Amino acid sequence: MVIIVGSRREGNSYYLANKIKEGLAKERIRTTIITPGNQKIHICTGCMDCDKNGVCDFTDDMKNNIDILKNEEYILFITPTRWNILSGDLKIFMDRLNPMYATQDLKGKKMIAVAIAAKGKELYSSEAAISSLLSFAESAKMNVVLTKEFNNCLYSNDILNKENEVQDFINELVKLINA
């Protein structure tokens, strides 16, 4: 599995990704974590050259990221909710996946969409963030197999107080992958 972490701070998304990696390792499931915000990734210029040959003109960390994604069946996105939608780091990353659209390399891959939000569930903020990830999946022809919202996480380590909820989510992931 590959986890794409949509926040560059050592915060809730970071802690969750590492908890998942730890939990899956116990089941002998290998996880790669990518944090686009801490990588060198040019912003897509929209030149559309990749539509012709599936290759981006930029040489940066996206080359290796795309190689990793090509070989993974499960791609788990964790987005911090920002203005009700996905983070800018994730959007920049997604735009640079356009070479994979051209080659249809994302088609049929399994997406797990996770959003973390400061607001409570009743305010639907994380739900809206999830729906932005689902729209990407639809466009990329990926199959969404699981979604999860973690709410009431304002401070950088609030998710560490949700031990049971995190463990239940990891159990669901294991069940899914081992099915």
Ligand X SMILES: Cc1cc2nc3c(=O)[nH]c(=O)nc-3n(C[C@H](O)[C@H](O)[C@H](O)COP(=O)(O)O)c2cc1C
Contact footprint for ligand X (CB under 6 A): 7, 9, 11-13, 80-84, 116-119, 125, 153-154, 156
Q: Do the beta carbons of residue 112 and residue 79 sit within 8 Å? A: no
Please state the closest distance from residue 150 (CB atom) to ligand X, in A.
Answer: 8
104, HSE (Cβ side, Cα atoms, 13 Å): 1
- Toward ligand X, which CB reaches closer, 22 or 27? 22
- Toward ligand X, which CB reaches closer, 80 or 99? 80
Please state the closest distance from residue 118 (CB atom) to ligand X, in A.
Answer: 4
- Toward ligand X, which CB reaches closer, 50 or 93? 93
Pick from 32, 29, 19, 5: which is nearest to 170 by CA?
A: 19
Pick from 148, 171, 166, 175: which is nearest to 15 by CA?
A: 166
Residue nearest to ligand X as judged by C-beta position? 11
Pick from 33, 4, 10, 5: which is nearest to 157 by CA?
A: 10
Please state the closest distance from residue 125 (CB atom) to ligand X, in A.
Answer: 4
